[in-house]
């Protein structure tokens, strides 16, 4: 009898599924979730909205999620100053599904997706699972981050776009896992250098950016191949809801309808997301608290002799570990779960509550002291 593995698509054989550890530990700071619970009044608003749609769950949801798109457009207009209409907005079950729609529509066999490593690990996974050839581009001539802040070298990015002639290009700002934001000139340069490509700027962490950090939403007008993706998982403390969205030219969004599954956003998901958007002031108030803890992490880790990368996200990438995997385990042994993102000598830590910041700094101090004692011994 043929083994199931042999029936799997050849390009998927030997792969491992994406997944970060979900462990029961006192301090979990590995997946960039919000450590702050959804406030009680928002929970009440969610329950009221769900109750409104509960009686009609025997019917399919609004396929065009009209109310949600209207609310998302109003949110983007209000918070970014970029006038956004509902027909410029698309949404899915998490930003990963939105990214998947883009690749399904514009990638595929005999097509190329280009990204700049290190960046969000799902970009190549989504591309390759859709049969798209992935090109692991360089952010700089010094691939291991010798360039300050892991910035993207615009000239090098342009050269790679011209060389590979991609159909989809992924840019990430603020970038995951480095936390660094892009200059808009980089987006403009890549857009012009790849005239046959959809240019995706992944802004999942945009609400956490420091003052003055630009958004690619300001570049959308007159650029029909530009897409800006966002999510409610981070700033809205809504990781469990799974609601991602994008803004783009209405003509591009119309093409995404060709690949979405019928009625892909449930009535409950739409109701919950609309309730959150109506109560966004109380949810986004937590963003400032998280940014404060992020900056405490940066300062505290620098005092410990580590090298934090300046961050515009809700996490900090730390360099300076002699053995990142060993330090990761040592932190876990002390009840602190962080993320080993595969960059030598670096670990990524989500910004959490003040108590979690205290705990992670204390654990880091203990780990580093223990490592120093071993070196002396």
Element (H, E) at 231: strand 226-231
pLDDT for 3: 84
Q: Is the peptide bond preceding residue 120 cis, with omega within 30 degrees of 0?
A: no
For residue range 29-77, list pLDDT tens digits in order.
999 999 999 999 999 999 999 999 999 999 999 999 999 999 999 999 9
Q: Domain locations in the chain?
A: 21-38+282-376, 40-278
- What is the spatial distance between Cα 215 and Cα 182, in angstroms, rounded to a whole number? 9
The DSSP symbol for 37 reads P
The torsion of the CA quartet 200, 201, 202, 206, rounded to 10 degrees, works out to: -160
CB 75 within 8 Å of CB 277: yes
Q: Cα(20)–Cα(339) distance, rounded to whole angstroms?
A: 8
Q: CATH number for the 21-38+282-376 domain, one of 3.20.20.410, 1.10.10.60, 3.90.1150.10, 3.60.21.10?
A: 3.90.1150.10
Q: Which residues of 306-337 are buried (b: 16+ CB within 10 A; e: fewer)?
A: bebbbbbbbbbbbbbbeebeebbebbbebebb
Helix locations, the chain, DSSP H: 4-7, 40-54, 66-80, 95-106, 122-129, 154-164, 184-193, 250-256, 267-278, 280-303, 324-333, 354-376
Tens digits of per-residue pLDDT, 94-153? 999 999 999 999 999 999 999 999 999 999 999 999 999 999 999 987 654 444 458 899
Task: Give the per-residue pLDDT at 140.
Answer: 85
235 and 287 Cβ atoms separated by less than 8 Å: yes
| Residues 322, 331: Cα–Cα separation, whole Å | 14
Asked if 252 and 271 count as a contact pair (C-beta separation under 8 A), the reply is no
- What class, spelled out in words, does domain 40-278 have in CATH? alpha beta
pLDDT score of 228: 98
Which stretches of the chain score pLDDT less than 50? 144-148, 377
Could you give the percent of the chain with pLDDT greater than 90?
Answer: 89
Q: What is the pTM of this model?
A: 0.94
In this prediction, residue 146 carries a pLDDT of 41
């Amino acid at each position: 009898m043929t083994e199931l593995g042999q029936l799997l698509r050849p390009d998927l054989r030997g792969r491992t599924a994406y997944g970060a550890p979900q462990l029961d530990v006192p301090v979990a700071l590995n997946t960039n979730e919000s450590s702050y619970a959804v406030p009680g009044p928002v929970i009440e608003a969610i329950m009221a909205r769900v109750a409104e749609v509960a009686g009609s769950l025997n019917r399919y949801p609004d396929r065009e999620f009209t109310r949600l798109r209207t609310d998302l457009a109003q949110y983007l207009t209000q918070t970014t100053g970029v006038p956004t209409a509902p027909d410029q907005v698309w949404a899915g079950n998490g930003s990963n599904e939105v990214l998947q729609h883009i690749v399904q529509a514009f990638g595929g066999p005999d097509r190329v997706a280009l990204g700049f490593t290190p960046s969000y690990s799902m970009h190549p996974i989504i591309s390759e699972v859709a049969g798209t050839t992935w090109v692991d581009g360089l952010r700089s001539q010094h691939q291991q981050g010798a360039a300050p802040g892991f910035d993207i070298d615009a000239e090098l990015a342009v050269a790679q776009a011209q060389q590979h002639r991609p159909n989809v290009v992924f840019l990430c700002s603020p970038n995951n896992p480095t936390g660094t934001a892009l200059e808009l000139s980089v987006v403009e340069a890549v857009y012009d250098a790849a005239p046959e490509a959809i240019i995706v700027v992944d802004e999942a962490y945009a609400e956490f950016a420091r003052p003055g950090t630009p958004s690619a939403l300001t570049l959308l007008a007159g650029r029909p191949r530009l897409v800006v993706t966002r999510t409610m998982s981070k700033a809205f403390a809504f990781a469990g809801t799974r609601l991602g969205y994008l803004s783009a030219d209405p003509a591009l969004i119309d093409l995404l309808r060709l690949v979405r599954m019928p009625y892909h956003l449930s009535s409950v998901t739409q109701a919950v997301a609309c309730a959150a958007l109506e109560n966004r002031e109380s949810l986004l108030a937590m963003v400032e608290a998280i940014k404060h803890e992020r900056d405490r992490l940066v300062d505290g880790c620098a005092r410990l002799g580590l090298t934090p990368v300046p961050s515009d996200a809700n996490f900090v990438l730390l360099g300076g570990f002699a053995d990142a995997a060993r330090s990761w385990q040592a932190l876990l042994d002390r009840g602190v779960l962080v993320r080993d993102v595969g960059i030598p000598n670096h670990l990524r830590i989500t910004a959490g509550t003040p108590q979690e910041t205290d705990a992670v700094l204390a654990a880091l101090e203990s780990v580093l002291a223990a490592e120093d004692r071993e070196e002396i011994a």
